[in-house]
Amino acid sequence: MKSALKICLTATLMLAISLDAAAWSRYGHEVTGHLAAAELTPEAAAMVDGLLDGRSLAEIAAWADEVRPQRRASAPWHYLNAPRGVLRPTDSELNLPQGTVASTVVDHAAQLADLSLSPTQRREALKFLVHFMGDLHNPLHVAYGDDRGGNDFPVLYGGRVLSLHRYWDHDIFAPAIAALPSLDYARFLLNRFTPADRARWGSDSDVRNWVSEGRGYLFAGLYPQPRHDLDDHEPTPVVDETYREVWLPVAERQLARAGARTAAVLNAIASDGLSPLTPLGASESSQPD
């Protein structure tokens, strides 16, 4: 019986970790889109409305995931891998030839600001930018290559096996998803975090800081510890309501930061015609945590 159970668990585990999850679920990306839209200046709102033909930021926030199978070159743009033990990756690690979530945010903000590009090109840049701003603020999208950002880190949640990445994309928000439309959740987060919080987050235009911010959580216990009381199985980390109580506020803060910073970037582009994001250069060595 134990052997059969172990085989079943192993098969379930292999299925769970074989599927790459997308940063935040559609719901999470929609929340970020709503948060950003709520803080746009009239000029930025007009720019967005014109490029999206009246569609909202929330409606297009998950577009980059939808087109990923057809746009295979965009796959590396969704994440960033850096060595374990490194809080602040080098610019060369942030700016790989194939792109990373950090470099693509900088690149698409510049494309959106470039009025020499066609409206179609700028529309696509906006859609990519909004999505990747959300991705960048998921700690597991600025994580480790050896477990593919937690995709190969199995956990037990509610009696089933899934990846830690999947849990952070979707299941950590399960109670909110069941209870609230994404717009209502965004309104809740707008009330939870003060205008001063959002202004402070929006004033930081260096994606290096955003990456370090997210990676800091990896070193603060985001990866749950294994349990050794599961008979006849390898020790497996468990995520439960205690874990959610600790980490849901962090996930909500990251959604709010992504929304505030997306709005700040769009407001600056609409006002000045230039991207406010600090370009990535090349540096020589990683900084240890």
Q: Which pLDDT score is estimated for 144?
A: 96
Rounded to an integer, what is the distance from CA 109 to the centroid of its chain? 17
DSSP 262-284: HHHHHHHHHHHSS--SPPP---S
Tell whether the model's pLDDT for residue 19 goes beyond 50: no
User: Residue 63 phi/psi, 5° resolution?
Assistant: -55, -40
Decide if 216 is inside a domain.
yes
What integer is the mean pLDDT of 30-58? 97
Decide if 55 is inside a domain.
yes
Q: The domain containing residue 57 runs over which residues?
A: 2-280
What integer is the mean pLDDT of 141-164? 95
Give the CA distances from residue 93 to residues 72, 261, 286, in Å, rounded to whole numbers and listed in that order.
21, 22, 9
Q: Which pLDDT score is estimated for 285?
A: 38
* Distance in angstroms (rounded) separating the CA atoms of residues 270 and 35: 18
Decide if 232 is inside a domain.
yes
* Distance in angstroms (rounded) separating the CA atoms of residues 30 and 245: 22
Rounded to an integer, what is the distance from CA 24 to the centroid of its chain? 6
Tell whether the model's pLDDT for residue 8 goes beyond 50: no
Mean pLDDT score of the chain: 89
Q: Which pLDDT score is estimated for 281?
A: 81
Q: Which pLDDT score is estimated for 22?
A: 53
* The total number of structural domains that make up the chain: 1
Q: Which of 288, 276, 285, 265 is nearest to 47 (CA)?
A: 265
Tell whether the model's pLDDT for residue 1 goes beyond 60: no
Tell whether the model's pLDDT for residue 15 goes beyond 80: no
Decide if 289 is inside a domain.
no
Q: Which pLDDT score is estimated for 217?
A: 98
Q: Give pLDDT tens digits for 74-99.
A: 999 999 999 999 999 999 999 999 99
Decide if 45 is inside a domain.
yes
Q: Which pLDDT score is estimated for 235?
A: 73
Tell me if 141 sits within 8 A of 101, measured CB to CB: yes
Tell me if 218 sits within 8 A of 136, measured CB to CB: no
Q: Which pLDDT score is estimated for 225?
A: 87
Tell me if 258 sits within 8 A of 31, measured CB to CB: no
pTM: 0.88
CATH classification of the domain holding 155 = 1.10.575.10
Decide if 96 is inside a domain.
yes
What integer is the mean pLDDT of 122-151? 97
Residues 6+ apart with CB under 8 A from 237: 153, 154, 155, 156, 164, 223, 224, 225, 226, 227
Decide if 285 is inside a domain.
no
Decide if 12 is inside a domain.
yes
Rounded to an integer, what is the distance from CA 165 to the centroid of its chain? 11
Q: Which pLDDT score is estimated for 4?
A: 37
Q: Pinpoint the alpha helices (H) of 137-173.
A: 164-169
Q: Give pLDDT tens digits for 216-255.
A: 999 999 999 886 655 555 678 999 999 999 999 999 999 9
